[in-house]
Structure 1
Amino acid sequence: MDFYEQLKDMRKLKGFTIRELADRSGVSAAYISQLENGNRGVPSPEVLMKLSEGLNTPYTELMQIAGYLEMNAPSREEAAYTKPRINLRRFLRENDLSFDGVDLTELDKEWIERALTVLFWKDKKRRNGVEEPEFTYEN
């Protein structure tokens, strides 16, 4: 199965129309249609990045299907290299981000950071050995 068929299958498995994928990825519907019909060459890594975001599919998977990356299983050293640990707080603060095709404002990113802080607050306290008091309801 070639890249074009696999792209079409991925889109259909996600339940997206071409228009929905276009809206989610920022790649034009006409271009996606031409890709799926084999009327265009393999897209650039930049376009594949957009499509991976729109399909919510790992970028490396599309890069492999497109022939940019070898499909051999990586060694442990390679796997460790290809998956760097990213500080999410710094990532949120230092990058222009979008979610489902909507650009996030600085305020949006601040709220995401706050939500993540609350989400992981208990775990952080537990890992640091801080006991949490049990709350009881008294009349």
Structure 2
Amino acid sequence: MNEDMLKDVDMLDEKEEEAEGGLTVSDNFGIMLKHYRKIKNLSLKELENLCGVSASYINRLERGERRSPSISVILRLAGVLDISSSVLLAAINIKEPQASEKITLSELLIKHEFLLNGEELSREAKEKLLKIVEHIAQCQWNSDTKVRDIFVLAELIDQFKLAV
């Protein structure tokens, strides 16, 4: 697709937002969207091909540059990413989990704002913290990999500390 066609697609996405009234999403929406796309190991282009939402529009949603996706876009993304639409919508309508509702640590980090030393974590710091949690959850942590796992964790912590 050439650049003019991409602009046309983006304009259609924006018009769809206006036609459906759009929703204002929190910064957490983009973080959550990117998190689940990475879990599915999908590139932006692959996600575009699967759900029909332009890669540039998805990228802007992930970066927090677009903050009003239509409900149809949210539902298409949720369907392709194989997650409950309520998980994505939670980043729009922030609500406290019910006593019986269980959420993952990653979802907890995505859905809420946090203070560190009295300062609110930036979007970048939050993304770095999420990477630390994901690394800890996914590393093998056995005698063969422990040194490498610790090294990667230390590198992720360095990135987090730079972001705060």
* Bigger relative contact order (CA 8 A; separation at least 6): 2
Which of the two has higher C-alpha Rg? 1
Q: What is the TM-score when the length of structure 1 is the normalising length?
A: 0.47
Q: 1 or 2, which has the higher helix percentage? A: 2
